[in-house]
């Protein structure tokens, strides 16, 4: 397994593969890998075959965090990540630094020689995570565009846990004609149903026990709409109440929408997508499910 | 010479070239080709060699025109363009339609299934053409990103006449890590010095005669600063006056700036870049020169 930290070296490697017709599968991550990430790696391998190459990027992208968010304390453990990647049969781990990705980042805010190009998605990114974190998706689309240009993958695999992110990326790829097939792989869950996430590490024992409330809320909503459609307003109120069962939890948002267009629905029925964000203590968790 | 009108077919062709290690040179145009464009084709051929492939795109991109601008009357002559490309040894002419480039364009402005991703450059694009035409560069960077992803060129050639555009594209390529080398080729001029441009076709005989005022203004400024630096404010006032010599001409802007950073300079000296936009009758022309 090769570890590449320079953007130019990553792109050179990718261009050499391209010239030789080697298929490339790509899993972009922020590191602190868990079984969910490894399932994305397996999915990527399935898509490109044993003669293909798998690239995992490990990069905590500053442009997708607001100044008030958890960038500085986002969990990191590169040594462990590298071992997991090696064991998973990854070919290249790309671990760029901030100054590799954003030359002159923060060096001089007034200088016209610093970074100034962004990729913006202006529709699907407006609700939910985009409303709660206004500059988040601009950072995501920009860094993913950069990574695609550096890794030149045929296939890239994203996790369904970040449902809206996957939708925004698919829209970006279609709109800007990136020659990349986007695969969205199912959310992996702990035994009690909590969606796997690097941020689960922040939870203390009590919070961890109560964090399962997101999964239970999704299941409760599924049950509710199984027989007949329910008004979204009504169900939101019921779920807000439902979540008070976990005293450490505080609902940020819950939304019901079309899984393709992300258009909000007034009537929630089977097949409607539900997504929610909940603070458990100081940790903000998200989850989603097709009801 | 192959003519491709479908985006998917263009990308497939480009991917096949990539797998075989064929180098690709790309000249994006809005058609109505003139000798300036053909010099870009020659430059592209020089860069990729005789075994390389040259793609010329002919596409009048609607997203870089404001509603008040000359999109509808922008000159078109595809038959003549194709002959010129054939004679110039072009391998593929890519002629997409609006619905190929922007699926569901204008079909439903409220539908979340329409186009919603843009590439924006937020520094170099703020002055001059960006100030005069506020949505222009967003349209340019977006369509060029799309074309790069469809044509997958190793080298792309732009004309120096659109100096700011070339600077914005170079910044986009660096910031988003496109694996494309950008070449900026010199402006070609008519015998009297008028920069070649498809929009020159709009000029009647009187306007055509007076359009040379842009070139003369550039030369006058060059002469003025040859011996010693001059204040930009002073020189702007002098040039505004100078241009009144052509009664059909009306200055839109004249700017002096660093050719690398586009930062405006208070003192104009040898090596300073000058750019200007002038309405001649109803036609807006631009030109620039390093003094």
Q: How far is A20 from chain B (nearest CA, A)?
A: 6
At A114 the pLDDT is: 78
Q: How far apart are CA A195 and CA B69, in angstroms?
A: 51
In a domain, B120, yes or no: yes
Name the residue facing B146 among A103, A146, A177 (closest C-beta).
Answer: A177
User: Is residue A239 included in any domain, yes or no?
Assistant: yes
Reduced to 3 states (helix: H, G, I; strand: E, B; else coil), residue B47 is: helix
* CATH code of residue A141: 3.40.50.620
A105 in any annotated domain: yes
Q: Is A192 inside any structural domain?
A: no
Answer whether residue A125 is part of any domain.
yes
Mean pLDDT of chain A: 94
Asked whether residue A181 falls in the same domain as residue A219, the answer is no
Q: What is residue B195's three-state secondary structure? A: strand
Confidence class for position B93, pLDDT limits 50, 70, 90: very high
- H/E stretch holding A24 reads strand A24-29
CATH of residue A246's domain is 3.30.1300.10
A11 and A82 in a single domain? The answer is: yes
A261 neighbourhood in chain B, CB within 8 Å: 111-113
Integer CA distances (angstroms), B146 to A38, A179, B71, B163, in order: 32, 10, 20, 21
In this structure, what are the phi and psi dihedrals at residue A168, rounded to the nearest 5 degrees?
-65, -40
Give residue-wise pLDDT tens across range A2-22: 999 999 999 999 999 999 999
Q: What is the average per-residue pLDDT within A74-88?
A: 96
Question: A197-228, pLDDT tens digit by residue?
Answer: 999 999 999 999 999 999 999 999 999 999 89
For residues A25-50, give the mean pLDDT. 97
Statement to judge: residues A104 and A170 lie in one domain? yes
Residues of chain B contacting A, Cβ within 8 Å: 7, 11, 14-15, 18-21, 103, 111-124, 141-142, 145-146, 149-150, 152, 171-172, 174-179, 260-263
Q: Which of B121, B155, B185 is the last residue of a domain?
A: B185
A241 against B227, higher pLDDT:
A241
> What CA–CA distance (Å, rounded) separates B222 from A223?
77
Q: What's the confidence (pLDDT) of residue A110?
A: 45
Overall domain count for chain B: 2
Same structural domain for residues B167 and B246? no
- The percentage of chain A sitting over the pLDDT mark of 90, rounded to a whole number, equals 89
Does residue B90 share a domain with residue B152? yes
Domain boundary pick from A139, A157, A185: A185
Domain limit, last residue, from B145, B162, B185? B185
Q: Is the Cβ pair A123, B142 closer than 8 Å? A: no
In a domain, A148, yes or no: yes
Q: Give the pair of three-digit tokens for residue A148.
A: 């695609």
Would you place residue B106 in the very low, low, confident or very high pLDDT band (cuts 50, 70, 90)?
low
Task: Domain of residue A77: give its range.
Answer: 2-185
DSSP label at residue B127: S
The answer to whether residues B181 and B205 belong to one domain is no
Cβ separation of B117 and A119 shorter than 8 Å? yes
pLDDT for the residue numbered A270 = 94
Domain contains A207: yes
Q: Sorting pLDDT into bands at 50, 70 and 90, what band is A122? A: very high
Are B157 and B215 in a shared domain? no
Residues in chain A within 8 Å Cβ distance of B126: none
Q: What is the mean pLDDT of residues B268-279?
A: 97
Q: Indicate whether A34 and A107 sit together in one domain.
A: yes
Contact B177 A119 (CB under 8 A): no
Is the pLDDT at A106 greater than 90? The verdict is no
Q: What is the per-residue pLDDT for B67?
A: 84
Q: A18 and A118 share a domain?
A: yes
User: How many angstroms separate the CA atoms of B166 and B288, rounded?
Assistant: 12
A202 and A130 within one domain: no
Asked if B15 lies within 8 A of A124 by C-beta distance, the reply is no
Domain co-membership, A50 together with A169: yes
Q: What is the mean pLDDT of residues B239-248?
A: 96
Give the mean model confidence (pLDDT) for residues B23-40.
97
Q: Across residues A263-291, what is the average pLDDT?
A: 96
Question: Which residue of chain A is at minimal alpha-carbon distance from B105?
Answer: A175
Q: Do B7 and B150 fall into the same domain?
A: yes
The partner residue sitting opposite B119, judged by closest CB among A21, A119, A150, is A119
* Residue A204 is assigned to a structural domain of this protein: yes
3-state secondary structure string across B45-64? HHHHCCCCEEEEEECCCHHH
**Model confidence band, residue B111 (pLDDT cutoffs 50, 70, 90):** very low
CA nearest to B118, candidates B98, B94, B135, B96: B135
Check pLDDT > 80 for residue B109: no
Bigger pLDDT: B110 vs B115? B115
Per-residue confidence (pLDDT) for residue B215, from 0 to 100: 98
CB contact under 8 A, A171 and B118: no
Lowest-confidence pick of A34-43, B99-108, B215-224, B260-269: B99-108
**pLDDT by residue (tens digit) across B45-87?**
999 999 999 999 999 999 998 888 888 889 999 999 999 999 9
């Amino acid at each position: 397994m090769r570890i590449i930290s320079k953007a130019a070296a990553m792109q050179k490697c990718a261009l050499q593969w391209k010239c030789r017709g080697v298929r490339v599968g790509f899993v972009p991550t922020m590191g602190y890998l868990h079984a969910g990430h490894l399932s994305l790696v397996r999915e990527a391998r399935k898509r490109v075959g044993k003669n293909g190459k798998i690239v995992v990027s490990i990069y905590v992208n500053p442009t997708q965090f607001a100044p008030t968010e958890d960038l500085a304390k986002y969990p990191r453990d590169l040594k462990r990540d590298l071992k997991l990647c090696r064991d998973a049969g990854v070919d290249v781990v790309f671990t760029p630094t901030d100054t590799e990705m954003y030359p002159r980042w923060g060096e001089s805010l007034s200088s016209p020689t610093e970074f100034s190009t962004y990729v913006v998605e202006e529709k699907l990114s407006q609700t939910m995570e985009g409303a709660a974190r206004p500059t988040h998706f601009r950072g995501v689309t920009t860094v993913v565009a950069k990574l695609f240009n550096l890794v030149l993958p045929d296939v890239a695999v994203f996790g369904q846990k970040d449902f809206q992110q996957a939708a925004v990326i698919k829209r970006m790829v279609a709109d800007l004609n990136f020659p990349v097939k986007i695969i969205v792989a199912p959310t992996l869950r702990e035994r009690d149903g909590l969606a796997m996430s690097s941020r689960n590490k922040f939870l203390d024992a009590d919070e961890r026990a109560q964090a399962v409330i997101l999964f239970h809320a999704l299941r409760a909503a599924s049950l509710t709409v199984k027989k007949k459609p329910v008004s979204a307003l009504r169900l939101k109120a019921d779920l807000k109440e439902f979540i008070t069962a976990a005293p450490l939890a505080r609902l940020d948002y819950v939304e019901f929408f079309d899984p393709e267009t992300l258009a909000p629905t007034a009537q929630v029925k089977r097949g409607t997508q539900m997504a929610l964000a909940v603070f458990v203590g100081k940790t903000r968790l998200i989850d989603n499910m097709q009801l």
